[in-house]
Chain A
Amino acid sequence: MEIPYTVKPRPDTGLYNAKLGIWLFLASEVMLFGALFSSYVLLRVGAVPGTWSMGLMDIMVGAGNTMVLIASSMFIVLAWAQLKQGNLAGYKKWKWATIACAVLFLVVKWSYEWPTKFKHYDIWLSSTVELHKKLEQGYHLVAEKHARESHQEGEDAGSHGGLAKHYVEEEIFTKRFFKEPSGDSHKAFDVAWEQGTLALSGHINSYEEAQINVRISGWKADAGVSEVDAEKTLARFGAGDPAKLRKQGGLLLEKTDYDTAKRVEYALGQAGFTLALGVAGYTEKTKEEEGAAWVWRTKRVAEDIGGQPRVRSIIVSLDHSHHQKIKVETKHIKRLSAFEPKHSTFFGIYYTITGLHAAHVFGGIIVMLYNMLPIGLSMWHKDRERFTNRIETFGLFWHFVDLVWIFLFPILYIL
């Protein structure tokens, strides 16, 4: 059995099967990305004024990546042209160039664009008074300096509060949500200021984490663990007198860190013990060396340990404040999020669309690599025209991926 029109186009439709198939597939892709673009527009149009972030993207990186994709798109079609001329070596040259571009594109995204965002936090507070206080603390120095430099007479110059508020509106709020000041931006800022929906925006420098006392309060014999084994487990965690501790309870670990406490709690729980965790005090820790991105979540920070939060406060260095550090107490935090998908609908759609696009790029790379391997190339030696068609078909897909990015770039980076 041989399927017709796998190589030569059918005369009346002018297409060979694969080309027809890929165009149809692209039609469905148009609908897929179309729906996402529509969602983007709808969410953006429906957003409360002053909540849709703009200008957080690095345009230069975006433009660079756009050109990388454009180049790769050009390379793949050149690779195909080489095949048309029967030049396999030329094909390989251009194909490797295409792959290199595609990989570069992903590397920029993966190791630079996204990770930097995961380290930048917005913190919303539950109290407006507290918010104003923190902004004042964080910004009064730069605000004064700014006012001096620009010889600006604020409405109520002299009062620090006025200056900081002015600075936040001009340098932070308006730039981020409106780009240019206008009546709308002013109104939106007033609302956000009054209702306390502004966020403290910056990097987390350090935080005060609980030191935990782990206390054994009892042991159940019916948990299926023998006394000996249970005591062995205790000993493993440094109990001096496991037998006594098992029978009478008492302090097992003093002022240990959170991770250890949790590990012990789990392991001993398995061995039939009931434990009580309590906060003995707080120490300041720097998160820097761990370098972990997006670890901070509202729930995690506020996790209840014997009646007190896991983290008492976090020390934030605010954006555009010349590294002025402020201390935000957990009890005032309403929500905290890095620039990750859950941050806002803007970041949500940003990561979804670019992520889906990146997935297409990734899939493309796999297919391209396959077509460079002996197993892929064997078709060239069997049936040149068919292999050429295959590269043409793949090229159509690849151009489409480029096309999506051509629209993504202005929409996500510029607007």
Chain B
Amino acid sequence: MSDKAEVTQVQVQEAVGVHHDEHEEHPQHGFWRTYIFSTDHKMIGMQYGFCGLAFLFFGFCLIAMMRWSMAYDGEPIPFVGPILEALLGSGVAPGGVMQPELYNVFGAMHGTIMVFMGIVPAAFAAFGNYVVPLQIGAVDMAFPRVNMASFWAFFFGCVVMTVSFFIPGGAAQAGWTSYSPLATVIPTDGQTYWLIGMVLLITSSLLGAVNFLATIINMRAPGMTWLRLPFFVWAQFITAFLLLLAFPPLEAAGILQLMDRVLETSFFLPTGLVVGGQDVDVSGGGSPLLWQHLFWFLAHPEVYVLILPGMGIVAEIIANNTRKPIWGYKFLVGSVVVLGFIAFIVWAHHMYMTGMGTVISAFFQTTTLLISIPSVIILTCLLISLWGGSIRFNTPMLFALAFLPMFGIGGLTGLPLGFNFSDVALHDSYYVIAHFHYVVAPGTIFAIFAGVYYWFPKMTGRKMSEFWGKVHFWLSLIFMNLIFMPMFAQGMAGMSRRMSDGGATYSLANPDNADVTVGAFSDTIMGMNVSISAAAWAMLVAQVPFIINLFRSVKYGEKIESDNPWQATTLEWETPTPPPHGNFIKEIKVYRDPYEYSVPGAKKDFSPQAQPAK
């Protein structure tokens, strides 16, 4: 806590004549209760944030190693190869060379970690926990202890997932989608660990979602009507609904798959299944397609879980740094509500190629194309908001601005995937990889960065370095695009995803018949593997300034002069810095819409929500 803020707090208390008893209001819980088993939403938010960022980094390291295998298949990985061999055994990394099994393990875990242990905790849980109660003027979440339980369920889920790397046979190998029968018949235990880990992570998200919804519905400060909620809160609200209703089917599916693996049932195993030339000793009669339905029923809403908090963050920052109200606040709210609804009825667009039938494809194709409309409305509103603003180009704003075109590319390239005739060619290719990474990586992850730079002063009382922030931004932006743009080309050339040699074998001429080449790729396409990998490693290096900046600024960052360094209007800036247990030290009442910047006639160019109208 900065000295400045402490003074402010005490002064205010004296001013409002409140006797503030340190021991009762803010008991000295000691280290464990304050930092580890805390029930305070802000501490839990930071715990989530820390874990989330750490796992994002870890997941990124995994892919960095995989990219070596794709670019230089069969060669030992420099520097980390020996470490891999020492940690995971020479079975999977002899002499530091990544074997295909290890590639599969890393691939499956990269997806799982990024989605369920990286972005969901960082974008949804961390910012949601820290910012939402502040923005609605609440003292804490509705159920602080449930909140803690939610974090610990998450934490143990992460522990299970992490431990699974080191068990014999390694972690899960069947992709983040864990399709049966493959996921069921893989003999190593990693897949079982994955399921147990997922059940824990899902439980955590469900508890979190209930808590967020109850908080937003029941704990809004007086005057904080639904249409005065900052857009970020709306985004979190819809996200929580998505989690609440979409996760349980995956939990059910996870339980069924666990039964398949542990008790040898055959929910997802068809009759007459033959593995490795041998009949499998199961009853059969199950449906592999059932898994896909249950999985995607979660996982499509899940992709909106990944993007909506990002959109919320970006909206906050754009409003703040253009110094004018968001254009079309109601459109934004309406779109996000509609988006939440449609997100539930598009899931089978991931399954066009399963041969599930024309009628059902027609249904899902229509809904999929419709869902892009609200997305485009949101994007458009944010773009128009820039018009005529006197924009402050600080680091959070740069990231927020970059979000717009990046998300745009990701969303637009989704359209060809949404038509089932074009998806036939593009499905499971690098095009799909590029599509969703554009939405999630330069999209959501940039939004997360923006959020970190933006709310860091509230959390610590200090700003992060602008200079290094900008270095971080420009490097990230450039390398992101160098990584993902070529993937569109690779995908359209027909390169499949999930190949440990980057498609080299697939690309070879058919040895039996020299005239026939199997999926031959030009040198340009194959060469991209190397350039993409190089960009990925550069991207890794580009995160170093951020990491150093983050930790250094906690202690040495520039101190902020007031509790509201960005001159923002929303309620989180009404608190002392950093906010104490219980958040607000004065009565909070809301009088205004969320983004009253540059109100004609006002003294300052921003009118906080809590400032009474004249």
Q: Which residues of A are at the interface with B, using a C-beta cutoff of 8 A? A: 1-5, 10, 13, 15-18, 20-21, 24-25, 27-29, 31-36, 39, 42-43, 46-48, 51, 298-299, 335, 337, 340-345, 347-349, 351-352, 356
A32 and B218: CB pair below 8 A?
no
CA distance A46 to B256 in the complex (A): 17
Closest chain-A Cβ to B397's Cβ sits at a distance in Å of: 34
List B residues 260-297 near A (Cβ within 8 Å): 263-267, 271, 281-283, 285-287, 290, 294, 297
Closest chain-A Cβ to B444's Cβ sits at a distance in Å of: 24
A32-B219 contact, Cβ under 8 Å, with A1-B581, A348-B259:
no
Q: Give the size of the chain B interface in residues (CB under 8 angstroms).
A: 45
Residue B103 lies at the interface, judged by CB distance under 8 Å to chain A: no
B281 and A2: CB pair below 8 A?
no
Closest residue of chain B to A197, judged by CB? Answer: B271
Residue interface bits B216-229, CB-to-A below 8 A is 1, else 0: 01110000000000
A43 and B248: CB pair below 8 A?
no
A1 and B218: CB pair below 8 A?
no
Residue interface bits B80-107, CB-to-A below 8 A is 1, else 0: 0000000000000000000000000000
A345-B267 contact, Cβ under 8 Å, with A28-B210, A39-B290, A43-B286:
yes
CA distance A343 to B290 in the complex (A): 19
A348 and B218: CB pair below 8 A?
no
CA distance A356 to B255 in the complex (A): 9
CA distance A335 to B280 in the complex (A): 10
A342 and B265: CB pair below 8 A?
yes
A17-B214 contact, Cβ under 8 Å, with A42-B290, A345-B283:
yes
List B residues 120-162 near A (Cβ within 8 Å): 139-140, 142-144, 146
B259 and A352: CB pair below 8 A?
yes
B219 and A5: CB pair below 8 A?
yes
What's the count of A-B pairs with C-beta under 8 Å? 134
B244 and A24: CB pair below 8 A?
yes
CA distance A341 to B267 in the complex (A): 10
Residues of B contacting A298 with CB < 8 Å?
281
Closest chain-A Cβ to B269's Cβ sits at a distance in Å of: 9
List B residues 188-244 near A (Cβ within 8 Å): 206, 209-211, 213-214, 217-219, 244
Closest residue of chain A to B219, judged by CB? Answer: A4
CA distance A3 to B142 in the complex (A): 7
Residues of A contacting B281 with CB < 8 Å?
298-299, 335
A28 and B244: CB pair below 8 A?
yes
A17 and B218: CB pair below 8 A?
yes
Closest residue of chain A to B282, judged by CB? Answer: A342
B266 and A28: CB pair below 8 A?
no
Other than the given A16-B218, A298-B281, A335-B281, 11 more pairs (CB < 8 A) read: A1-B140, A1-B581, A1-B582, A17-B142, A31-B246, A32-B249, A36-B256, A43-B286, A46-B287, A342-B263, A342-B283
Residue B352 lies at the interface, judged by CB distance under 8 Å to chain A: no
Residues of B contacting A18 with CB < 8 Å?
143
Closest chain-A Cβ to B353's Cβ sits at a distance in Å of: 20
Residues of B contacting A10 with CB < 8 Å?
218
The 6 closest A-B pairs by CB, nearest first: A1-B582, A348-B265, A35-B249, A32-B248, A31-B248, A35-B252
Residue B25 lies at the interface, judged by CB distance under 8 Å to chain A: yes
Residue B253 lies at the interface, judged by CB distance under 8 Å to chain A: yes
Residue B251 lies at the interface, judged by CB distance under 8 Å to chain A: yes
Residue B599 lies at the interface, judged by CB distance under 8 Å to chain A: no
Residue B247 lies at the interface, judged by CB distance under 8 Å to chain A: yes
CA distance A3 to B145 in the complex (A): 12
Closest chain-A Cβ to B313's Cβ sits at a distance in Å of: 24
B213 and A344: CB pair below 8 A?
no
Q: Can you spell out 25 A-B residue pairs with CB atoms less than 8 angstroms apart? A: A1-B25, A1-B139, A1-B140, A5-B142, A15-B218, A20-B217, A21-B210, A24-B213, A25-B210, A27-B244, A28-B206, A28-B209, A32-B249, A35-B248, A35-B249, A36-B252, A39-B267, A39-B290, A43-B287, A47-B285, A299-B281, A341-B259, A344-B283, A345-B285, A352-B255
Residue B245 lies at the interface, judged by CB distance under 8 Å to chain A: yes
Instruction: Pick the contact of B218: A5, A47, A344 (CB < 8 A).
Output: A5
Instruction: Pick the contact of B256: A20, A299, A347, A352 (CB < 8 A).
Output: A352
Residues of A contacting B139 with CB < 8 Å?
1-4
Residues of B contacting A43 with CB < 8 Å?
267, 285-287, 290
A31-B256 contact, Cβ under 8 Å, with A3-B144, A345-B267:
no
Residues of B contacting A35 with CB < 8 Å?
248-249, 252-253, 294, 297
B287 and A42: CB pair below 8 A?
yes
A28 and B286: CB pair below 8 A?
no
CA distance A20 to B206 in the complex (A): 14
Residues of B contacting A32 with CB < 8 Å?
248-249, 251-252
Closest residue of chain B to A299, judged by CB? Answer: B281
CA distance A267 to B314 in the complex (A): 66
CA distance A1 to B219 in the complex (A): 14
CA distance A9 to B217 in the complex (A): 12
Instruction: Pick the contact of A21: B143, B247, B251, B287 (CB < 8 A).
Output: B143
